Structures are given as C-alpha cells and as structure tokens.
Amino acid sequence: MSDTPTHVVIFDTTLRDGEQAPGFSMDVPSKLNLARALDALGVDIIEAGFPIASPADSEATRQVAREIRRPVIAALARCRQQDIEEAARALEPAERRRIHTFLATSDLHIERKLHTTREAVLEAIVAGVRRARQFTDDVEFSAEDATRSDRDFLCRVVEAAIENGATTVNLPDTVGYGVPDETREFFAEIRRRVPNADKAVFSTHCHDDLGLAVANSLAALDGGVRQIECTINGIGERAGNASLEELVMAMRVRQDRLPYETTINSELLFDTSQLLSRLTAEPVQSNKAIVGRNAFAHEAGIHQDGMLKDKRTYEIMRPQDVGQTAEQLVLGRHSGRHAVQRRCEQLGIVLTTDELALVYHAVITMGENRKAIADNDLRRMVERTRSGERSDAPGHEAVGHGHGA
Ligand code: KIV
Ligand code: ZN
C-alpha cells in the first residue's frame, strides 16, 4: 500500500445547492465575489448555477465561467435538451467546463413526482448524457434520490450513464436518509456490480437532514468515492449539504484514519465562511465546527488553565490552521485567575498579586450579568482597582463550570 494520500476532488456547490436554500440567494456580483474566494480556497470544481432555472442563474454561471480560470466550472441541467443547451451556453466562456446532468431514479420520485416509468427515465438519462458530451468531455451524471433507489435499477442506470459518456457518477443522498456504514456499503456494492465502474469517478452528495452529511461523505470515501460535493458552512436545501470545512479538516486532522488529501488552503476557511455570511446576511452558528465563533473559544477555568499550560489539552487543531484567531480565552463568570492574568499581559498590563485578586473578582462578578467581558471592560476594571475604587478582595479560586473542568 502506498503512503501517499489519495486525492479527493472537492466539488463546491455553495453557489448552486447552497444558494437555492431559503435565505441564501445571492445576486450576480455576490456570486462572483464568492466564486473568487472559492478559487483562492483551492476547490477543484465550482458548481456555479442551474442556468435553466432563471436568467440571473444563467448570467451568474456565465460570469463565473468567464472570470474564474483555474477550477472546473460546472452547471446543472436536468436530462432535458433545453436544460443541457442552456447550461452549455452559460459555460461557453469557461476555460474548463463540466455539464452536470441529473434525473431521479427512485420509484418514489419516478412515479409520484415525474409520473413516468423506469424505462423512460433510463432513456432520458442516455439521451441527456449523450447530448451533454456533444458540448464537453467532462460530464457528470447524478441519480437524484440514489440512496432510496432500487439497487438493480440503479446499477443499470450507472452502467448506461458511463457507457454513454459520463466521466463522473454522483449518487446523492438527496433526502439525508443514509447512515455511515450503509453509505460505505452502498458505494462499494454499486462499484462492484457495475461492469464499467472503473471508467468513472464516483461522487457523493449528502444532505444533512439527520446531521450525518459529513459522516456519510467520509464513509463514502471508504466505499471508493473520490469526489465529495459540499458547501461552505454546510448551506443547502433544508438542513443543508455536507460542510466543506468540516470534511477538509476531518481529513487533515485524522490522516491516520482518513488517508486522503485535498487542495484546500485551510487557512482561508474562516474568511470564506465569513464572506458567505456577509453576502447572504445569514450568521454562522456560533458553535459551528471549524468556523463558528466559539470553535476555538475557551471560557471554563480549568479548560483555560489547561490551554495556558499546553494547548493540546483542549485543541485538536490550531485555530490559525483554519484562519481563526489563536488562543481565544473568553473572560466570563467561568474563567480562572490564570486566564485573567494572561489576557491582561496580552493587553500590556502587569498586575501585582493583590491587583490580580481584585480584578479577577471583578471579572467573575461582571460575568454574572454578561455573556463575555470585552478588553475595554477589563481595562476599566484595572483602572478602578488601581485608583482604589474597589477594595473587596475575596480569596476564592474559581474552578469554572466547564465539563470535567
Ligand atoms: O440533492 C440532490 O440530489 C441534488 C442533485 C441535483 C445533485 O442536489
Ligand atoms: Zn442536493
């Protein structure tokens, strides 16, 4: 077995699946702005839009295709001539283009949504993939609701899509129904049963309805997948898609179990996440892994004490590796004396032992009524202490309410 990590293609669909979620729509300049950031971040593929959906979607795809030269630019199209032709038109200026064509393959979708038959679906897929290949050699086919599709039928679909020119086959967990073991076995089975499976790259696209999108995507790698579709901040339909930043950092931090590499510049993850949040006016959940405001913040006294002694006690990666500020010891009612002292030192204030006792007491007292204590609050406490405004100096040492702290 080689020691070189296997490359995983990062297909970013923030501008398509992400953007189509409520509250996340972006105008053309915003999409272009984010596309530049995704390029700098190092994604392999940017899915820029679904051109048939609206003239604005088509225009955004065209502008991204014109300006962004390094990554492949993908456009979504149903397996319909008109969709595919519109996608191809929007992608015309691209340096490297991919048509991503899709059709649902589960009986539920075929019968209840499309009101058609498996055979008609298969025919449309063959025709769609063939038409897309007339515009580009890079064609991705997605079997919508693949994880709830009949396996025998799905195998026929995948074989036909590859036979007719699909170079990437994406099997989405459209409704976020899968669990990790099942997802790994699912991909392994399809790849084992489809005779021409080795002619295409397999891709996963997981939704987060059960909060398992990242876990399922990582499990899919074990089943032979080499492309992951994901979004910044995990945005997307309903509960969203697999979060790009979580996937990338899981692979980086747990190389021992996930021997894969990506071309992502992880130091830009936080800025990219913040940019998306500004462009869509949607805040990032503060406890969101990797890019949340609290992802590297420590307030509990014993955690802060551990951090001051050796950061590895409570951090499995360095905040600066994902573009977050290093060492965020938040002062509040759970804080410890060492953290107060360290913050003061960082602000250029050296306290005597007596002053520290007074300032520390002031911090935990103010923390009873406030979420966090800002640097200016701390400066004022020091000034008041030094001017003799406060003279009460209780001697107890806070241990914080942190877990295990
Ligand atoms: O969730 C899904 O199935 C999709 C496809 C169009 C790829 O977004
Ligand atoms: Zn999706």
Name the pLDDT band for 370 (thresholds 50, 70, 90): confident
For ligand 1, atom 1, name the residue with the nearest CA: 174
For ligand 1, atom 5, name the residue with the nearest CA: 144
Kindly give the number of the ligand 1 atom that is closest to the alpha carbon of 229: 7
Name the pLDDT band for 404 (thresholds 50, 70, 90): very low
CA neighbours closer than 13 Å in the CB half-sphere of residue 166: 31
The finding on whether 205 has its CB within 6 A of some atom of ligand 1 is yes
Q: Domains in the chain, start-ordered, CATH in brackets?
A: 6-280 (3.20.20.70), 297-402 (no CATH)
Kindly give the number of the ligand 1 atom that is closest to the alpha carbon of 142: 7
Q: Which residue's structure tokens are 């991909």?
A: 187
d(CA 231, CA 338): 39
**Stretch 347-363: mean pLDDT:** 96
The percentage of residues in the chain with a pLDDT greater than 90, rounded to a whole number, is 91
d(CA 248, CA 265): 10
d(CA 144, ligand 1 centre) in Å: 6
The finding on whether 144 has its CB within 6 A of some atom of ligand 1 is yes
**pLDDT number for residue 70:** 98
Asked if pLDDT for residue 211 goes beyond 90, the answer is: yes
**Stretch 350-377: mean pLDDT:** 93
d(CA 101, ligand 1 centre) in Å: 10
Name the pLDDT band for 371 (thresholds 50, 70, 90): confident
d(CA 161, CA 142): 9
The finding on whether 183 has its CB within 6 A of some atom of ligand 1 is no
Asked if pLDDT for residue 165 goes beyond 90, the answer is: yes
**Stretch 1-16: mean pLDDT:** 89
Closest CA to 317 of 245, 262, 372: 245
Which amino acid, one-letter code, is at 17?
D
Name the pLDDT band for 389 (thresholds 50, 70, 90): confident
**pLDDT number for residue 398:** 40
Ligand number nearest to the C-alpha of 241: 2
**pLDDT number for residue 401:** 42
The finding on whether 142 has its CB within 6 A of some atom of ligand 1 is yes
CA-to-CA separations, 252 to 8, 80, 98, 255, 307, in angstroms, rounded: 12, 40, 28, 6, 22
Pairing of strands 227-230, 201-205: parallel
* List of residues 6+ apart from 271 with CB closer than 8 A: 37, 323
**pLDDT number for residue 326:** 83
Threshold 0.75, pTM exceeds: yes
d(CA 373, CA 216): 39
Closest CA to 125 of 98, 108, 153, 104: 104
Name the pLDDT band for 5 (thresholds 50, 70, 90): confident
Written as one string, the DSSP assignment of 243-298 is BHHHHHHHHHHTTTT--EE----GGGHHHHHHHHHHHHT-PPPTT-TTTSTTTTEE
The percentage of residues in the chain with a pLDDT greater than 70, rounded to a whole number, is 95
How do residues 266-284 score in pLDDT, each as one tens digit?
A: 999 999 999 999 999 999 9
**pLDDT number for residue 2:** 58
346 vs 72: which has the higher pLDDT: 72
d(CA 240, ligand 2 centre) in Å: 8
d(CA 267, ligand 2 centre) in Å: 27
Long-range CB contacts (within 8 A, 24+) of 389-397:
390/358, 390/361, 390/362, 391/358, 392/358, 392/361, 393/354, 393/357, 393/358, 393/361, 394/357, 394/361, 395/357, 397/336, 397/337
Give the SS3 label for residue 387: coil
d(CA 107, CA 146): 10
Q: Give, for ligand 1, the residue of 174, 203, 231 to mutate: max count of ligand atoms closer than 8 Å to Cβ.
A: 174
Q: Are 359 and 344 in contact (CB under 8 A)?
A: yes
Written as one string, the DSSP assignment of 343-379 is HHHHTT----HHHHHHHHHHHHHHHTT-S---HHHHH
How do residues 56-84 score in pLDDT, each as one tens digit?
A: 999 999 999 999 999 999 999 999 999 99
Closest CA to 311 of 321, 303, 323: 303
d(CA 180, CA 184): 6
How do residues 219-259 score in pLDDT, each as one tens digit?
A: 999 999 999 999 999 999 999 999 999 999 999 999 999 99
Give the SS3 label for residue 390: coil
Ligand number nearest to the C-alpha of 204: 1
The finding on whether 17 has its CB within 6 A of some atom of ligand 1 is yes
Phi, psi of 204 (to 5 degrees): -120, 150
Q: What is the mean pLDDT of the chain?
A: 94
**pLDDT number for residue 390:** 54
CA 287 vs. chain centroid, Å, equals 14
d(CA 73, ligand 2 centre) in Å: 17
The finding on whether 19 has its CB within 6 A of some atom of ligand 1 is no
